Amino acid sequence: MVFVSDVAEPRQDGELPAKVTANTSVSANEQASAHPAAESTADMVVNTLREWYVLASDSIASLLDGRFLQQPARDLWLLGKHYDLTEHTDSATAYPQHVIDDFTRLIWCTYRSQYAPIAQSQFTTDAGWGCMLRAGQTLMAQALQLHALGRDWTFSWTSSDSEQVKRRQLYTKVVGEFFDDYDPRSSFSIQRMAALGQQFEGKDIGEWFGPYGTARILRGLARQANHDVTVYTTTDGVVYLADVCAQEFRPTLILVASMLGIDRVNPVYYAFIQASLMLPQSAGIAGGRPSSALYFAGVQGDELLYLDPHTTRPAVTRTEKEYSQSDLATYSCPTPRRIAMSRLDPCMVFGYYCATLESLVDLRSRIELLADDGVTAIVSFDNGHAPESAIAGSSESSESSESSGSSGSVRASESTGSEPIDSKARADDCRVSTPVLLTKLPNDSDNDDASCNSNTGRPKSESGEIILEGECSDEEWVTDL
């Protein structure tokens, strides 16, 4: 039997994939042994068959695209952090160890099994229907990890140093928010997501979810938990700063749901997808290939690095003891995979985590600079509130009964206490210019006067209004491998 974690990423230079070495991987049976309930034989068979299917389909796509004949790009970006791979010449590994270490620190949410049945159903696993929920969990997990630990955290699992222990506890607390149970600490469990999906989307447990529905669910759960991190959602690409800054600014995860084409992503948006993952505020992208959700964390040339939720692992049982590395081994993945942007489904959610108002200002400046450079930006900023008509027509107003009292479709959670704050004035603060340094993308046009009707600018009508490809609806996702 060949286990899933024994299969390395498909090489991009035409060579067959090599087996992952022991120092970079945890085998499937080792992962399963970290939980009292071992991974079932059926799960292992399904995981293995699907892994080989993905390897085969990726290899065939690479062959048809001619990418086997190309060397991978030497610049890699992972959630805003740049790696120069020019000096990496070891043909036995696709990436140097420090890149693998950084990728492994991403929290990986996958299908789980052997948990208590989800309320009002007999489902004890989300395999086959929960991949977008898991991709959304993974995006949320990176935002919470950035909030708790910052971008470049490290810790030792065995050290007794007080700072190391504190970081370890913060990490396990974040992971624990995605455990598959109804414990109050499991703020974003699959059980809570499925239940809220019934309330917000009218979907029965076991039905598939789309990117925007998943974003709404994450927003609702953050409110229910009165979480330290506020979740803000938008479907038209406009971030209304008076809503984000309605009260004293709180750390905010901005989720922008967009549909960037019909069957595939329109190439006009490639540059923005690349640039988005280069931003220091990036929390990743929840999207996927057609009919199969993925989480994108990095970019290398015209390919994205991703985590795949379609691997079923036994649910981890919550305990009051301190967790070890082996206990949480199934929440990390040491094998980065890549997918060409030409193979992406056009419906996706962009995530940006802003820890401070200054970070929000910086995000706006960087995105507006991209637009000035001719990149088709799908995110824009408005100093006011969302139009009242959009708020009145939104079904999300029903969230108020489960939340901390927001009154609008994209309003941030409101808190009680001090004197009212002039949110419009606070939003105006976001217009402050800040120094921005962003590496220019390969093949970017140097023509700053590029027409907005060309492929280097967002399409506009004769009246000057922006033409969107369309809104992202959950009906676009009708199957889930």
Q: How far apart are CA 307 and CA 322, in angstroms?
A: 27
For residues 1-20, one letter each, b for 16 or more C-beta atoms within 10 angstroms of the residue's C-beta and e for the rest, the string is eebbbbbbbbbbeeeeeeeb
Phi, psi dihedrals of residue 254, rounded to the nearest 5°? -95, 125
Of the candidates 232, 333, 350, 210, the residue with the CA atom closest to the CA atom of residue 286 = 350
Of the candidates 187, 264, 191, 241, the residue with the CA atom closest to the CA atom of residue 218 = 187
Phi-psi region of 416 (alpha: psi -120 to 50; beta: other; left: phi over 0): beta
The catalytically annotated residue of 43, 308, 373, 474 is 308
Helices assigned H by DSSP within 150-281: 162-176, 190-201, 211-224, 241-244, 270-278
Residue 148: partners with Cβ closer than 8 Å, 6 or more residues away: 170, 171, 173, 174
Q: How far apart are CA 92 and CA 101, in angstroms?
A: 17
Catalytic residue list contains 308: yes
Give yes or no for a contact between 104 and 333, defined as CB atoms under 8 angstroms apart: yes
The catalytically annotated residue of 58, 126, 131, 362 is 131
Of the candidates 277, 284, 270, 269, the residue with the CA atom closest to the CA atom of residue 211 = 284
The catalytically annotated residue of 310, 327, 347, 474 is 310
Catalytic residue list contains 474: no
Q: How far apart are CA 218 and CA 246, in angstroms?
A: 20
Catalytic residue list contains 310: yes
Residue 450: partners with Cβ closer than 8 Å, 6 or more residues away: 374, 456, 457
Q: How far apart are CA 254 and CA 349, in angstroms?
A: 10
What amino acid positions are annotated as catalytic residues? 131, 308, 310
